Amino acid sequence: MREQLLHLLFPHVCLLCKRLLLPGEEYCCSGCMEEFDPFSTISEAEEQLRSTIVAHFGERFPFERGWCRYLFHKKSALQQVLHSMKYEGLLHLGTTFGRQLGSWMLSGGDIGAIECLVPIPLHRLKKIERSYNQSEKIAEGLAQSLRKPVRPELLVRKRFTVSQTGLSAVDREKNSAGAFLATSGVRGRHVLLVDDVVTTGATMAAAAEALRAGGAKSVSLAALALAAKE
Protein backbone atom coordinates (compact mmCIF):
# COMPACT_ATOMS: atom_id res chain seq x y z
CA MET A 1 0.00 0.00 0.00
CA ARG A 2 2.87 2.41 0.79
CA GLU A 3 4.28 1.92 -2.71
CA GLN A 4 0.89 2.61 -4.26
CA LEU A 5 0.48 5.91 -2.35
CA LEU A 6 4.05 6.97 -3.19
CA HIS A 7 3.48 6.38 -6.87
CA LEU A 8 0.17 8.23 -6.82
CA LEU A 9 1.77 11.22 -5.07
CA PHE A 10 4.95 11.15 -7.17
CA PRO A 11 3.95 9.59 -10.50
CA HIS A 12 7.33 10.27 -12.13
CA VAL A 13 9.23 8.11 -9.65
CA CYS A 14 10.29 4.53 -10.42
CA LEU A 15 8.05 2.04 -8.65
CA LEU A 16 11.06 -0.04 -7.58
CA CYS A 17 14.08 2.18 -6.94
CA LYS A 18 12.13 5.44 -6.38
CA ARG A 19 14.42 7.39 -8.71
CA LEU A 20 13.00 10.01 -11.07
CA LEU A 21 11.81 8.58 -14.36
CA LEU A 22 13.33 9.87 -17.56
CA PRO A 23 11.24 10.94 -20.59
CA GLY A 24 9.75 7.86 -22.22
CA GLU A 25 9.88 5.75 -19.04
CA GLU A 26 6.64 4.66 -17.39
CA TYR A 27 6.35 3.32 -13.83
CA CYS A 28 9.76 1.60 -13.94
CA CYS A 29 13.11 3.05 -14.96
CA SER A 30 15.15 1.33 -17.64
CA GLY A 31 17.73 0.29 -15.03
CA CYS A 32 15.16 -1.63 -12.97
CA MET A 33 13.61 -3.13 -16.08
CA GLU A 34 17.03 -4.56 -16.93
CA GLU A 35 16.56 -6.75 -13.84
CA PHE A 36 13.61 -8.44 -15.56
CA ASP A 37 14.35 -11.61 -17.52
CA PRO A 38 13.04 -11.06 -21.07
CA PHE A 39 12.95 -13.71 -23.75
CA SER A 40 15.55 -12.96 -26.40
CA THR A 41 13.31 -13.99 -29.30
CA ILE A 42 9.62 -14.58 -29.94
CA SER A 43 10.33 -18.14 -31.10
CA GLU A 44 12.14 -18.90 -27.83
CA ALA A 45 9.18 -17.62 -25.84
CA GLU A 46 6.68 -19.65 -27.85
CA GLU A 47 8.81 -22.78 -27.62
CA GLN A 48 9.06 -22.54 -23.82
CA LEU A 49 5.35 -21.78 -23.48
CA ARG A 50 4.49 -24.85 -25.56
CA SER A 51 6.95 -26.96 -23.57
CA THR A 52 5.32 -25.91 -20.30
CA ILE A 53 1.82 -26.68 -21.53
CA VAL A 54 2.76 -30.01 -23.13
CA ALA A 55 4.47 -31.04 -19.89
CA HIS A 56 1.19 -30.62 -18.01
CA PHE A 57 -1.48 -31.29 -20.64
CA GLY A 58 0.15 -33.24 -23.45
CA GLU A 59 -1.80 -32.69 -26.65
CA ARG A 60 -5.07 -31.98 -24.80
CA PHE A 61 -4.54 -28.22 -25.02
CA PRO A 62 -3.96 -27.17 -28.65
CA PHE A 63 -3.36 -23.50 -29.46
CA GLU A 64 -2.39 -21.62 -32.62
CA ARG A 65 0.34 -19.21 -31.47
CA GLY A 66 1.78 -18.15 -28.13
CA TRP A 67 3.63 -15.08 -26.83
CA CYS A 68 5.26 -14.28 -23.47
CA ARG A 69 7.60 -11.36 -22.85
CA TYR A 70 9.39 -12.37 -19.64
CA LEU A 71 10.38 -15.32 -17.52
CA PHE A 72 8.80 -14.95 -14.09
CA HIS A 73 11.00 -15.63 -11.05
CA LYS A 74 9.85 -15.63 -7.43
CA LYS A 75 11.09 -12.72 -5.29
CA SER A 76 12.19 -10.85 -8.42
CA ALA A 77 11.78 -7.23 -9.46
CA LEU A 78 9.14 -8.33 -11.97
CA GLN A 79 7.15 -10.07 -9.24
CA GLN A 80 7.16 -6.85 -7.19
CA VAL A 81 5.85 -4.86 -10.13
CA LEU A 82 3.16 -7.38 -11.05
CA HIS A 83 2.06 -7.54 -7.42
CA SER A 84 1.58 -3.77 -7.45
CA MET A 85 -0.40 -4.03 -10.68
CA LYS A 86 -2.60 -6.85 -9.42
CA TYR A 87 -3.20 -6.01 -5.77
CA GLU A 88 -2.19 -2.40 -5.09
CA GLY A 89 -4.39 -0.52 -7.53
CA LEU A 90 -1.84 0.36 -10.22
CA LEU A 91 -4.22 -0.73 -12.95
CA HIS A 92 -2.68 1.48 -15.66
CA LEU A 93 0.57 -0.43 -15.23
CA GLY A 94 -1.20 -3.34 -16.93
CA THR A 95 -2.00 -1.14 -19.92
CA THR A 96 1.64 -0.06 -20.17
CA PHE A 97 2.85 -3.66 -20.05
CA GLY A 98 0.24 -4.62 -22.63
CA ARG A 99 1.43 -1.96 -25.08
CA GLN A 100 5.02 -3.13 -24.65
CA LEU A 101 4.03 -6.76 -25.18
CA GLY A 102 2.06 -5.83 -28.30
CA SER A 103 4.96 -3.88 -29.78
CA TRP A 104 7.27 -6.83 -29.15
CA MET A 105 4.80 -9.23 -30.80
CA LEU A 106 4.67 -7.03 -33.90
CA SER A 107 8.46 -6.83 -34.04
CA GLY A 108 8.45 -10.54 -34.85
CA GLY A 109 6.36 -10.07 -37.98
CA ASP A 110 3.02 -11.70 -38.74
CA ILE A 111 0.79 -12.36 -35.73
CA GLY A 112 -1.67 -14.42 -37.73
CA ALA A 113 -5.35 -13.83 -38.37
CA ILE A 114 -6.22 -12.82 -34.80
CA GLU A 115 -9.62 -11.14 -34.80
CA CYS A 116 -10.09 -10.06 -31.18
CA LEU A 117 -8.53 -10.11 -27.71
CA VAL A 118 -10.27 -11.90 -24.82
CA PRO A 119 -8.85 -11.38 -21.31
CA ILE A 120 -9.08 -14.14 -18.72
CA PRO A 121 -12.13 -13.00 -16.73
CA LEU A 122 -12.47 -12.63 -12.98
CA HIS A 123 -15.54 -13.92 -11.17
CA ARG A 124 -17.91 -11.02 -10.62
CA LEU A 125 -17.44 -11.17 -6.82
CA LYS A 126 -13.66 -11.02 -7.15
CA LYS A 127 -13.90 -8.14 -9.62
CA ILE A 128 -16.10 -6.24 -7.14
CA GLU A 129 -13.49 -6.85 -4.44
CA ARG A 130 -10.52 -5.80 -6.62
CA SER A 131 -12.47 -3.20 -8.69
CA TYR A 132 -10.66 -4.12 -11.93
CA ASN A 133 -9.31 -7.09 -13.88
CA GLN A 134 -5.56 -6.91 -14.50
CA SER A 135 -5.81 -9.19 -17.55
CA GLU A 136 -8.36 -6.83 -19.07
CA LYS A 137 -5.98 -3.90 -18.58
CA ILE A 138 -3.17 -5.84 -20.25
CA ALA A 139 -5.52 -6.64 -23.14
CA GLU A 140 -6.40 -2.94 -23.47
CA GLY A 141 -2.70 -2.10 -23.85
CA LEU A 142 -2.23 -4.93 -26.33
CA ALA A 143 -5.17 -3.62 -28.34
CA GLN A 144 -3.51 -0.22 -28.66
CA SER A 145 -0.47 -1.85 -30.27
CA LEU A 146 -2.15 -4.59 -32.28
CA ARG A 147 -5.18 -2.52 -33.31
CA LYS A 148 -7.55 -5.36 -32.49
CA PRO A 149 -10.73 -5.04 -30.40
CA VAL A 150 -10.95 -6.25 -26.81
CA ARG A 151 -14.03 -8.46 -26.32
CA PRO A 152 -14.28 -9.33 -22.60
CA GLU A 153 -17.95 -10.25 -22.98
CA LEU A 154 -17.05 -13.31 -25.05
CA LEU A 155 -15.87 -15.26 -21.99
CA VAL A 156 -17.30 -15.34 -18.47
CA ARG A 157 -16.12 -17.05 -15.30
CA LYS A 158 -19.20 -18.93 -14.19
CA ARG A 159 -17.70 -20.46 -11.06
CA PHE A 160 -15.77 -18.81 -8.23
CA THR A 161 -12.27 -20.27 -7.88
CA VAL A 162 -9.63 -19.81 -5.20
CA SER A 163 -6.30 -18.20 -6.07
CA GLN A 164 -3.98 -20.48 -8.01
CA THR A 165 -1.01 -19.24 -5.97
CA GLY A 166 0.49 -22.06 -3.93
CA LEU A 167 -1.55 -24.81 -5.58
CA SER A 168 0.07 -27.88 -7.11
CA ALA A 169 -0.20 -28.46 -10.85
CA VAL A 170 -2.92 -31.08 -10.29
CA ASP A 171 -4.88 -28.79 -7.98
CA ARG A 172 -4.52 -25.89 -10.42
CA GLU A 173 -6.13 -27.97 -13.14
CA LYS A 174 -8.96 -29.09 -10.84
CA ASN A 175 -9.50 -25.53 -9.63
CA SER A 176 -9.86 -24.14 -13.17
CA ALA A 177 -11.70 -27.01 -14.85
CA GLY A 178 -15.18 -25.99 -15.97
CA ALA A 179 -14.81 -22.48 -14.57
CA PHE A 180 -15.44 -20.64 -17.86
CA LEU A 181 -18.22 -20.27 -20.38
CA ALA A 182 -17.97 -18.70 -23.85
CA THR A 183 -20.81 -16.64 -25.29
CA SER A 184 -22.21 -17.00 -28.78
CA GLY A 185 -20.17 -14.12 -30.24
CA VAL A 186 -17.01 -16.22 -30.20
CA ARG A 187 -18.23 -18.57 -32.92
CA GLY A 188 -15.92 -18.73 -35.95
CA ARG A 189 -13.33 -16.30 -34.52
CA HIS A 190 -9.58 -16.54 -34.02
CA VAL A 191 -9.24 -15.37 -30.42
CA LEU A 192 -6.13 -14.12 -28.59
CA LEU A 193 -6.54 -15.17 -24.94
CA VAL A 194 -4.74 -12.76 -22.57
CA ASP A 195 -3.44 -13.28 -19.00
CA ASP A 196 -0.71 -11.88 -16.77
CA VAL A 197 1.39 -14.92 -15.78
CA VAL A 198 1.29 -18.51 -17.03
CA THR A 199 2.50 -21.06 -14.47
CA THR A 200 1.24 -24.48 -15.57
CA GLY A 201 -1.24 -23.19 -18.15
CA ALA A 202 -4.24 -24.55 -16.21
CA THR A 203 -6.24 -21.31 -16.36
CA MET A 204 -5.46 -20.78 -20.04
CA ALA A 205 -6.35 -24.42 -20.79
CA ALA A 206 -9.74 -24.18 -19.12
CA ALA A 207 -10.52 -20.87 -20.80
CA ALA A 208 -9.38 -22.10 -24.23
CA GLU A 209 -11.49 -25.25 -23.86
CA ALA A 210 -14.56 -23.08 -23.16
CA LEU A 211 -13.80 -20.90 -26.20
CA ARG A 212 -13.44 -23.92 -28.48
CA ALA A 213 -16.63 -25.45 -27.05
CA GLY A 214 -18.35 -22.15 -27.86
CA GLY A 215 -17.31 -22.41 -31.49
CA ALA A 216 -14.06 -20.42 -31.66
CA LYS A 217 -12.16 -21.26 -34.85
CA SER A 218 -8.79 -21.10 -33.12
CA VAL A 219 -7.18 -19.78 -29.94
CA SER A 220 -3.80 -18.11 -29.48
CA LEU A 221 -2.23 -17.09 -26.16
CA ALA A 222 -0.49 -13.98 -24.85
CA ALA A 223 0.86 -13.36 -21.35
CA LEU A 224 3.30 -10.95 -19.80
CA ALA A 225 5.31 -13.72 -18.23
CA LEU A 226 5.90 -17.46 -18.07
CA ALA A 227 6.91 -18.96 -14.74
CA ALA A 228 10.50 -20.17 -14.78
CA LYS A 229 11.27 -23.76 -13.77
CA GLU A 230 12.90 -23.23 -10.38
Q: Which of 1-10, 130-139, 147-156 is predicted least confidently?
A: 1-10
| Tens digit of each residue's pLDDT (9 = 90 or more) over 189-202 | 999 999 999 998 98
Asked if 108 and 17 sit in the same domain, the reply is no
Note whether 150 and 86 are same-domain residues: yes
- Distance (Å, rounded) from C-alpha 163 to C-alpha 21? 33
- Spell out the residues 6+ positions from residue 8 whose beta carbon is closer than 8 angstroms to its own: none
State the Cα–Cα distance between residues 28 and 15, nearest whole angstrom. Answer: 6
Region of residue 201 (left: phi > 0; alpha: psi -120 to 50; beta: else): left
Tell me: do 43 and 125 sit in the same domain. yes
Contact between 215 and 182 (Cβ < 8 Å): yes
Q: How many domains does the chain have?
A: 2
Exposure on the CB side of residue 79, measured as CA atoms within 13 A: 8
Q: Look up the CATH number of the domain holding residue 129.
A: 3.40.50.2020
Domain span at residue 11 reads 1-35
> Is the same domain home to 104 and 180?
yes
Average pLDDT over residues 194-216: 93
pLDDT at site 62: 83
Pairwise CA distance, residues 225 & 230, whole Å: 14
How many angstroms separate the CA atoms of 87 and 22, rounded? Answer: 26
Same domain flag for 89 and 8: no
